Every structure is written in C-alpha cells, then in structure tokens.
Amino acid sequence: MSGGPTRVDPHVKVLDERVVERARESGIDTLVYAPHFTRLPEIRERAERFSTDEVTVVPAREVFTGDWGNRRHLLAVGLDDPVPDFITFEAALAEFERQDAAVIVPHPAFMNVSLTRAEVGAYRDRVDAVETYNAKLFDHQNDRGRRIAEAFDIPGFGSSYAHLRGTVGAAWTEFEDDVRGEEALVVALQGGAARSVVKRTDPATRLRRLVEFTHLGYENSWGKLDRLLLSGMEATHPRHIAYDGRFDDVTVY
C-alpha cells in the first residue's frame, strides 16, 4: 500500500451528514459504521450513501454472541453475508472465518459484554486486533485493554465508539499506509499493519467522553429493554425470517 497515513475510527454507532462532516474536520479518512441491531444490508446502504470523496464509511457488524446475561461482542469488518446476534460465540467466529472478515475485540474485559482476558488469550489466533483505547471508557478501563493486547501480542486499535455525534473525532487509529476502503482496511487489520492510537485530551473532549459514558447507562438498561421486550423481534435475531433458518441450530434463544 502507498499514499501516506490513514486515520480510521474503527467503531461508530451513529451516521449522518453531521457525523461525516465532524470526521472530516478532525482529519479522519475512514469511519467504520457498526450500529446495534441493524442488518448488514441496511448498514451497507447507509455507509454507501454517506461516504464522500474525503471520508469513506465502511460497513461492519458488532455481533452480540451468547445470551443476554453472558454476551460477548465481536466486531467484524468485511462481511458479505448477514450474521445475526444471539448465536454462540463459536458459531459467530466460524461464520466470520468463512467470509474471511477481519475480527476485532471491542472494549475487552468491560462489564459482561466483552471478551475477558482469558478469552482473548484463548482465541488470540482468531482475532486480529484488541481495542486499547475507547473514548467512551475511563482511563483504568482502557489501560486494562492495553495490557490485554500487550500480554498476548495482539495489535491494538483506538476508536471513538461514538453513540453521540459529538464524540466523533475524540480518538482514532492512524495506519502508516493508505488503507482507505473496506478491502484495504480488512487486509491491514488481518496483516497487523503498522498503526498508532491517537486521542484528544482537551477539556471539551473529556466532557464529551463523560456524556458518552453516562449515555451508556441508558443504552444498557431501558434502551435495550425497550428494544428487546417491547419492540418485537429484532431484525438481527437469528430466528428472523431474513436468515431463512440458517442459524436455527446455533441460536441461544
């Protein structure tokens, strides 16, 4: 690859014109868009719609593996076929491998939604990167992620993990080479391409990070309870008609 460094935010949950403009103003070249409970075709359509000459939006899926009380999140970049939530961890990994997607670990060892240190170690040969800086988390939580990546010699990455527009630009991963576009990013992640994690530490960014963390309480309580219990079957439920029964034997619900 050639063409100079590329700033990538490998994990955002929001996407519209304002998000893309904020990324452009921050010098970010690529946003990886991976909203919760949204099927891949819709994610891909939105990514194409909001990509510009200056900011490429890459579609991805953060898949909830396991059941609600013991779920493990995996972020897959480079999927061609949809993969549902709430299937077994092994089934998700097998599907990612079948599609030759890059697999990265968001917010390791965070609450009950992440791979533990032991799990990262056990699956070190099947994941391509571990998040070492997440703008939504506190410093001690990010330090834990960094130590996990270092312990198992797995490349790191940093992201804004933006659920709110204002957090875009708080952090990114800067690759030394040109990795613009989905295919190039997948190759870079799978190949352990040279990179560094960049974060902003100004007072305004610190305030946005605190607002994001507060928003996390809603996201993991009433927000998801409403979606799961009151809104009917999610589009990414493995028994949804869209998956045509392909995952019925590995669903946890």
CATH code where residue 53 lies: 3.20.20.140
Name the domain count of the chain. Answer: 1
Residue 60 within any structural domain of the chain: yes
- How does DSSP assign the chain, residue by residue? --SS-EEEEEEES--SHHHHHHHHHTT--EEEE--TT--HHHHHHHHHHH--SS-EEEEEEEEEES-GGG-EEEEEES-SS---SSB-HHHHHHHHHHTT-EEEE-STT-TTSS--HHHHHHTGGG-SEEEEEETTS-HHHHHHHHHHHHHTT--EEEE--BSSGGGTTSEEEEESS---SHHHHHHHHHTT--EEEEE--SHHHHHHHHHHHHHHHHHTTHHHHIIIIIS-S-TT-TTSGGGTTTTTTTB--
Asked if residue 253 belongs to a domain, the reply is no
Whether 116 shows a pLDDT value over 60: the answer reads yes
State pLDDT tens for residues 29-52: 999 999 999 999 999 999 999 999
In a domain, 68, yes or no: yes
pLDDT at position 220 is 53
Q: What is the pLDDT of residue 2?
A: 47
- Is 251 part of a structural domain of the chain? no
Read off the pLDDT of residues 175-232 as tens digits, 9 standing for 90 and up: 999 999 999 999 999 999 999 999 998 888 877 777 776 766 555 544 454 545 445 5
pLDDT digits (tens, 9 = 90+) for 67-111: 988 889 999 999 999 999 999 999 999 999 999 999 999 999 998
Q: Is residue 238 part of a domain?
A: yes
**Is 250 contained in some domain?**
no
Residue 41 lies in a domain: yes
Q: Which two tokens stand for residue 222?
A: 């009433």
Phi (first) and psi of residue 91, to 5 degrees: -65, -40
pTM, two decimals, is: 0.91
Domain that holds residue 224: 6-243
In this structure, is residue 132 part of a structural domain?
A: yes
